[in-house]
Amino acid sequence: LKELGVPAGAIFIGDAAAYDRSTFEMFRFLGYDRLSRETGAQLIDLDTPAYMRVIVPGGGLAYRSYLFKEAVRGFDVLISACKMKTHGRGDVTLGMKNLLGMIPTYPLAGYPRGAILHAAGSDVGRLIGDTPPRDLTIQHYSRTSPAGPGGLPANRDKLRRVIVDMACIFPVALTVVDGVIAMEGEGPWQGRAIESNMLLAGYNVFSTDVVGAYLMGYDASEVGKFKYALRKELGEANLPRIEVVGEKLEKL
């Protein structure tokens, strides 16, 4: 980006860490603080207020609207830089799934992002409404959950719809998939590291994910979120119709 003439001070690297970890703690652990010093790019914690509410264009598949850090309003271009891996609940984790890191971890009343993304139940829907009750907490939901105290019943299909909602809200200008060391199996925590030695980049996040899924051994019809991406007309899923340059996919 700097070589293309973008000032270093206008380049931001953002994320919102999960599971009670500080985003900047994770930045330091992963070496992003060093990267920031070397390049001049700024690190931004997407987990902190002030928040703004964004309505999903054309209507959301999971929720009507979501909360995000207000600062993202000022960004002109979004690049999704992600790892190539599988996910126990999401088939493949690539450019679209990576956008979940835009959502703050605790955007409302102490309610964790994981519940918003994964959990079934009407209370979750109430929290995402335009006038969420400020007194509803994760402890309340755990007590009233069909799974019992401390349990959050998962809705795998809901996660797929949230992912596509994110892709509708944030038009990705470039997706870069790092498959140098990839993951297969029960990701994102218990998978196996695979030395794939490949990088994949594309201008359409959905079609890039389709190619990435193919390289991981999946047909597009096997990936649940892709059917929702097609419903939203986010891109091309027919592999022969996707323009691919570089190495032949069959060789990879």
pLDDT of residue 181: 95
* Percent of the residues in the chain that have a pLDDT greater than 90, as a whole number: 58
Is residue 67 over pLDDT 80? yes
What confidence score (pLDDT) does residue 111 get?
Answer: 54
Q: What is the mean pLDDT of the chain?
A: 84
Most confident residue range from 121-125, 147-151, 153-157, 213-217: 213-217
Q: What is the mean pLDDT of residues 232-246?
A: 96
145 pLDDT higher than 90: no
The more confidently predicted of residues 140 and 68 is 68
Give the 3-state secondary structure of residue 171.
Answer: coil
Q: CA 170, 244, 226 angle in degrees (round to 5)?
A: 45
- Quick one: pLDDT at residue 18? 76
Most confident of 68-72, 133-137, 234-238: 234-238
Q: Would you say residue 148 has pLDDT above 50?
A: no
The pLDDT of 48-58, averaged and rounded, is 88
Does the structure show a pLDDT above 60 at 127? no
How far is the C-alpha of 236 from the C-alpha of 220, rounded, in Å? 10
Give the per-residue pLDDT at 102. 92
117 Cβ contact list (under 8 Å, min separation 6) = 100, 103, 158, 159, 162
Q: What is the pLDDT of residue 122?
A: 45
Where is average pLDDT lowest: 6-10, 40-44, 237-241? 6-10
**Confidence band, pLDDT 50/70/90 cuts, at residue 130:** very low
pLDDT for residue 76:
92
Full-model pTM = 0.86
CB neighbour list of residue 227: distance below 8 Å, 6 or more residues apart: none
Beta strands in 75-143 (DSSP E): 79-87, 91-93
- Indicate whether 138 pLDDT > 60: no
Q: How does DSSP assign 7-45, residue by residue?
A: -GGG-EEEE---TT--HHHHHHHHTHHHHHHHH-PEEEE
CB 141 within 8 A of CB 166: no
Which of the two residues, 87 and 156, has the higher pLDDT score? Answer: 87
pLDDT at residue 112 tops 80: no
